[in-house]
Amino acid sequence: MTKKSEVHETIGRVKVLGFNLFFRIFVPAQGKPKGTVVCLHGGPGASHDYLLPHVDLAKFGYKVVFYDQLGCGRSEVPKNVVLFSVERGVEELEEFRKMMRLGRIHLMGSSYGGMLALSYALKYQRYLKSLVTTGGLASVPLCVDEMNRLKRALPKVVQRTMQKYEDAGDYHNMAYEKAVMVFYKRHLLRLEKWPKEQDYTMRHLSKPVYYTMNGPNEFMIIGNTKYYDITDKLHRIRVPTLVMGGRYDEVTPKVARSIHSNINGSKLVTFEKSSHMPFWEEREKYMETLSQFMDKNNDN
């Protein structure tokens, strides 16, 4: 765990494309940062909080930047839900990068943030030193197929409970939420006790964003990303790319391989004891893997 004495933190808000976004920046307490990494949270509709283990990267000499995407966390929530889209998220990231004068960056995207990072790279890869996905995806249909496969491996009683309430559209029934938690404990975060940052993110999930883009939960994707698939475009990405995920990830190793196989020269790393959040589950190994990859690509 990075001690506060090892880093300096800046918190603020910046107007991006007409709306105020909340950000946090961590820099090493000593010396000039050797690079900047922007960390994109998932959801869509989560906040940056669950990604805070990445502050550890400041210990390795990096400037670490987080922001809550439009409508998420502590950022402004617009009334117009049409603004919640991958395409706008790409432009938001680019405008944020410019407004914060970050220069060329290392970009890490977690879960949906990985899809956003890949989409950004397809348009703005000239501003990237490297690209990293952690539990990321390029194809929502493939991801949903894989999640459904994982659901079929759950205990029969859990499957029956899920099916009952999904058929009724009763996604907030306590019995259904308890059944979903069985899935989450296997494939979202395999820790007996979830860290407070993860709990905070789950409690403060932006319903306007999540329901518009995703749906009622992780595997019921019925929002505007339902058919999103950029797999056939990934070959255009030429920046150094690291694809990471967990052995038990809800965004399965098959999804990770589909990204890796379509980006020439990319590196694939699977964390054998992790699910969707290896930065919590195998924190030390994850941070060493990520920092070493960025170290190799600082001069690009």
Q: Is 8 a catalytic site residue?
A: no
Residue 12: count of CB within 10 angstroms of its CB? 12
Q: Which residues contact 244 (CB under 8 A, 6 or more apart)?
A: 132, 133, 134, 135, 256, 268, 269, 270, 271, 278, 286, 289, 290
Pick the catalytic residue from 47, 85, 110, 111. 111
Pick the catalytic residue from 249, 260, 274, 275. 249
Determine the 3-state secondary structure of 61 from DSSP.
Answer: coil
Q: Is 111 a catalytic site residue?
A: yes
Determine contact, residues 122/233, Cβ cutoff 8 Å. yes
Q: Is 187 a catalytic site residue?
A: no
Q: Where are the beta strands (DSSP E) in 157-202?
A: none
For the chain, state the CA radius of gyration. Answer: 18
Pick the catalytic residue from 41, 54, 187, 276. 276
Instruction: Label residue 18 left, alpha or beta by phi (over 0 means left) and psi (-120 to 50 means alpha).
Output: left
Q: Catalytic amino acids?
A: 111, 249, 276
